[in-house]
Structure 1
């Protein structure tokens, strides 16, 4: 018999092959009958009846096995379609029970692995959505495939970016666009004076080139390190100046007293001037030392009516809206010093006192304190360096007022920002909720 015919027989179902077997046995029996007994209708009828009965019996015996095969085949199809919650009915599986058990074990393993994979995907998505790091994924044609909320806020005011071109999305940030084009990595200073660290990576996904861009905000970390360096320098300088000023003041005082005894008026006045300048310099140094040694905030519920009354006793301003109604914890003394510094700057800006406003806005997550004046505002350079220690645009300023404000609010886990308005300067303070404010400070 030709090989292709054997293949045709192999493709037949079990039922068809059993029927062929019965037919072959019938033909053999009929051939044997005619060879041994000759033509006999009764014997022929008996042989045919026996063949039909055998076929029926084989069919009945094969039916349970076919049902088991059908059930297992359905289970396998469910696994192929990704449905891992179904299984073969063990009560109806007998001959193929080991195979059914193997399929059930495979189904349980796949179900467990899918649940683990789903949890990992959910965790990864949660991390990406809540991360302050801006993440952008583009294809080989520079089309943005994925952008997390931080990236959307940075590039498109929180709006969707998927499907747009990265080059067009970075037109408002030429520094970033240039860094991406030149494959530059490292720190970037953006126009809003924020500092970001850019990392770029290329990889193959589904045999296609993809680009991953990660922008990590570094402004606060760098400012914190910068402030820490300034404080260390202040402590060293303050220590050396104190060691010099103390004996100098003592010598000046003694010299003044001796000159008065000798009735040397001009010499006494000279020593008096030296003593006064030493005292003024010492007061100046102490102010810097106090800034360098700002204590850790002692948190307690803020009594807002009392705090506002104390501020209005010293500086005039208009309270806009209501006072906070939720429980907010802070170091009241430090918070008062912060607001006094800001009010002092507002009055020194040349703004009319009645145009200086203080406003509170709160939600469950944070309290926003906004102070606004009607002065000339700040230049771009002043806005950029206003929070840097020792920087001042005033002829007699020390340059630590706003730096102290930033140090106080950041010690509370919050932040400070400045921006020019159409008329005047707006200073915004963000104070975190009670839970965040009571966490251990870094």
Structure 2
């Protein structure tokens, strides 16, 4: 429904006025009063005025057009004046928004469509101002948090210059002075070699450096991403010494609990049996003594094996990698445990300490059989890439929760009542001694996969060094 004060109604009224004016001018020129006025001037006032030539239709229209054009121009100016003012105001508002200034508003009070557009524009500006204010507050909060975090943060651009650094990074690399604009590679030239090597690797790393008269352990996390369409790199240096100390204390407490539990389980029966044996000897009932002594010996052997297992983990020898032919190695492994090969056997020999890797695989395959899945689903995979050898043991058991996955490789951590928590920890220790790493992951469809990732180039270099020293 059209409103009386709408632009369309106003324009309609102006066009009607223009049309009526054109009709009146045409009638005045051709019919009345211009012809009568000229005749009265000629007759009654005796003025020498020649009789006007009849204008006709076209002449009247031309005369009407000459008179009507200035009127139409004035009416058009009246109609377009508010639109022109609004367009200029909107042009200024858009320019302000482009420059990031959202304080611009249009102070024009109208009750037509233009007024509605102005009110919507002002409401948009208010919304943008509020959002900008909230964004500034969040940026201020984020910058405060980042600046005061103990993790040293360095953001570099595509050419390696520092675009952002927090307080911890300034104290770590530049004595508290500003880092923005400096070349990060030049800044690292004066840092310890372990730190430079970790940064140059381009990957996450854990390294230890001499600092403030002692050793400080850092965890480096590196990520590459695009910021405003340009490549950047973020490095996070986190001090881990206190955290590692807490973890070490927690590990020792866990060790003490496990050893105490195992000692109590063995010493309590031994003490009870020794008391029973003494009582039987006092009574002269020597027939039952051999059984008592046999049980004591069995518990003592179990305790000795338990202590020996911990001692072997603590005194793990340095691996001696050699060229290992796969066929005899797998045949020997099959004598100790059952598994199914899931991949073809590589043609090239492996390079590792056969005794240590065999022990790791025996433990992993044993764990896979104890997972609760089908025995024929326990598989062994051997995959060689250009840089590493991946040995994977997989099962179809229930897998592990996220909490267990995060702690499964820690020494003495076990979800089994009778477990020592050394199987996966030993696998990690041996694999890392080879220069590799252990990864655990739940499988699609159920089950767990444990992968030993051994670097091929490093293993081959070790073999060559050993061969040259013989």
TM-score w.r.t. length of structure 1: 0.46
TM-score w.r.t. length of structure 2: 0.44
Larger Rg: 2
